Amino acid sequence: MTVWCFGSINIDHFYALPHLPVPGETLAATTVRAELGGKGANQSVAAARAGARVRHLGAVGPDGARALAGLAGYGVLCEGVQQVETPTGHAVIMVDPLGENAIIIDAGANRAIALAPVLAALEHAALGDILLLQNETAFQVEVARAAMGLGMEVIYSAAPFEVEAVRAVLPFVNTLVVNAVEAAQLLAALNTPFEDLPVETVVVTRGAEGASWHARGTPDICVPALPTQVVDTTGAGDCFTGVLAAALSMDASPEDAMHFAAAAAAMQVSRPGTAAAMPTRAEIEALINERR
């Protein structure tokens, strides 16, 4: 099975600063680096590194060659990435010496994506293929609806959380993945108990407290987080979701997929960076065997 990831592609520009700027201040950065980012790209990379066949559906601008090369370099198939006139999405991430940050995001090409080529690409999906999507592009509802109509399994990572966007996509979702904060926001906004969320399966991630799988009619599956030396938790949720989708696409049971994702995420938080920190399938399997 293939994981089709419809999602954002960004270039993240990191600026290390002596302190975060105050209004009117001009600051010189001490170091600067640029990396592939965006929740969609991160999840595609996580899934591909974990061993899945991954096709990314998204958009970059005229400046997107480097981002595309980055994705392809991690083994993600990029024929479904459109080139549009709007510049590639980017984030400016200012970081002070204590690790505190301030972030500016420009969605850029992610919001200028054309719907028709995405729908045309999905026509090539096989029954049971997975569509993975998040909240950083245009047309989530249309793409999720089409995928469900084609008999795909739709896994929706409801982040960044925006209640109206989530409410609109939910009818076309099989598996919803949220962190604990997003879960609480969603239940409050819909004024509904957890069991009545209108999806078959809800996965809740809880940082160092692990994650749980709740599916109608089957016992809950709770997996602990694997103890690790934490270096950088950025992208832990994207790692977990991408690897979960990868494992399910390779016919793992929900329980095995949850353990596989938790092991991957523990490894990811023990390394610096986001996409670059996503572990390979061999690394994840080695960690699981080591902790048995």
Residue 185 DSSP SS3: helix
From first CA to last CA, the distance across the chain in angstroms is 28
Whether 256 is a known active-site residue: answer: no
Residue 191 DSSP SS3: coil
211 binds ligand ATP (CB under 6 A): yes
Q: Tally Cβ neighbours within 10 Å of residue 217.
A: 5
The annotation status of 41 as a binding-site residue, yes or no, is yes
Report in angstroms how near the CB of residue 194 gets to ligand ATP at its nearest: 16
234 binds ligand ATP (CB under 6 A): yes
Angle between helices 254-269 and 281-291 (to 10 degrees): 100
The residue annotated as part of the active site, out of 63, 238, 251, 256, is: 238
179 binds ligand ATP (CB under 6 A): yes
169 binds ligand ATP (CB under 6 A): no
In the range 236-275, which residues lie near ligand ATP by CB under 6 A?
A: 236-238, 240, 262, 265-266, 269
228 binds ligand ATP (CB under 6 A): yes
Q: Beta strands of the chain (E only): which ranges? A: 2-6, 10-16, 31-37, 53-60, 81-83, 89-95, 101-106, 130-133, 153-157, 175-179, 201-205, 211-215, 221-223
Stretch in the footprint of ligand ATP (CB under 6 A) among 14-22, 166-174, 192-200, 225-233: 225-233
Decide if 109 contacts 30 (C-beta within 8 A): no
**Which residues are documented as binding site?**
10-12, 38-42, 136, 179, 205-210, 232, 234, 237-238, 268, 271, 273
Q: Which residues in this chain contact ligand ATP in the complex, by CB under 6 A? A: 179, 205-208, 210-211, 225-226, 228, 230, 233-238, 240, 262, 265-266, 269
